[in-house]
Amino acid sequence: MSPMPTPVTVHAVVDSPVGELTLVARDGVLAGLYLPEHRHRPALETFGARDASPFGEVVAQLEEYFAGRRTRFDLPLSMAGTPFQRTVWDALKDIPHGETTSYGELAARIGRPTAFRAVGLANGKNPVSIIVPCHRVVGSTGGLTGYGGGIERKRLLLGFERGDVVW
Catalytic annotation, residues: 134
What is the rounded distance in angstroms from the CA atom of residue 24 to the CA atom of residue 73? 16
DSSP-assigned letter for residue 3: P
- Residues 142 and 100: beta-carbon distance below 8 Å: yes
- Residues 132 and 91: beta-carbon distance below 8 Å: no
What is the rounded distance in angstroms from the CA atom of residue 160 to the CA atom of residue 166? 6
Pairing of strands 21-26, 29-34: antiparallel
If you write DSSP's letter for every residue of 88-135 in order, what string do you get? HHHHHTTSPTT--EEHHHHHHHTT-TT-HHHHHHHHHT-SBTTTS-GG
Give the DSSP H/E element, type plus range, for residue 22. strand 21-26
